[in-house]
Amino acid sequence: MTPPEGGGVKRVGFVGLGVMGGRIAKRLIDADYEVVGTNRTRERADWLIPLGLRWAGTPREVALATEVVFTMVTDSNAARAVVEGSDGILAGLSPGKILVDMSSISPAVSRRLAERVAAAGAQMLDAPVSGSISTLEEGRLSIMVGGDEAIFHDVEPLLRAIGPTVTYVGGNGLAVTMKAATNLSLAVQMLAFSEGVLLAERSGIPRETAVRVLLNSVIASPMVKYRGPFVLEQPDEAWFDVDMMQKDLLTALEMGRDTNVPLPTTAVTNELLTAARAMGLRRKDFSVLFEVLRRMSGGDQVEVPPEPDP
């Protein structure tokens, strides 16, 4: 399933053209695939139409018009909403078609949807991504894939048009399991980074200086490098908001209970995300954890410890 030679276009579908989904669809368009897509709110996807997106009114229309349909929506309920029902993707699937769900959803829900897709004679892969808008636009996105391995190889060229690192991890539901295992570390890292910045600031070091030092230190993971500056200024549009991150942490905590794996730092970080929601910050990028700590420690009151007596 490689892009056709001679200027031809391979047609694929995309349901869920939000912050990440829209940019992934653009990469497919840029790779000379014809993309048929839809989104719950059309205005968020209008920018793609002049670039070549063919708009469809419903997920069912997308599935009817294409052989491979991608989805990227916010949570398990949204995934069920676009797949099921008279206007859902299932209603437009037929034998031989493939659904590739890139959403971060519950592994149990993902497996149930895969069973329903299989009952229609089609196939489903779960293929969530690891990365951000910046890593996507720089061509460095990582994709993990669960489902039938032969079907994975069928769509692998499409996935590599989206990101260069594509890893098959096992059967249906295991990729979204891996996604939860990945995202818990993102949130925990962001909390630890925020603690370090705030501690330095309250000790008298300018926040900008603390951020610069940490971003050039051994603790600067790729995620910290691109998200760390958000403690200085939040992005205009959240890359991955508090609600979405907490959804993934709750999934991880449930998995931890099921597998008897203690997740203490995940549990603490989850509580700070609950505090963010209580402060009215649920739609902010989850890097707002710094602001939560700042408010919990007294807001704008900066107290510099006195110098010790000689």
Pairing between β-strand 10-15 and β-strand 68-71 as defined by DSSP bridges: parallel
179 is catalytic: yes
Burial bucket for residue 104 (CB in 10 Å: 0-12, 13-18, 19+)? buried
Q: Dihedral sign, CA of 15, 17, 21, 25?
A: positive
Rounded to a whole number, what is the largest CA-CA distance in the chain? Answer: 81
- Give the helix ranges, DSSP H, for the chain: 19-30, 59-65, 76-83, 107-119, 133-137, 149-162, 174-202, 207-215, 222-227, 242-259, 264-278, 289-296
Q: Dihedral sign, CA of 295, 298, 299, 302?
A: negative
Give 276's contacts (C-beta < 8 A, 6+ positions apart).
242, 282, 284, 286, 288, 289, 291, 292
What three-state secondary structure class fits 81?
helix
Q: Dihedral sign, CA of 49, 63, 170, 105?
A: positive
Residue type at position 164: P
List residues bridging with 130 in a β-sheet: 142
Q: Catalytic one among 10, 26, 97, 179? A: 179
Q: Which residues have a catalytic role annotated?
A: 179
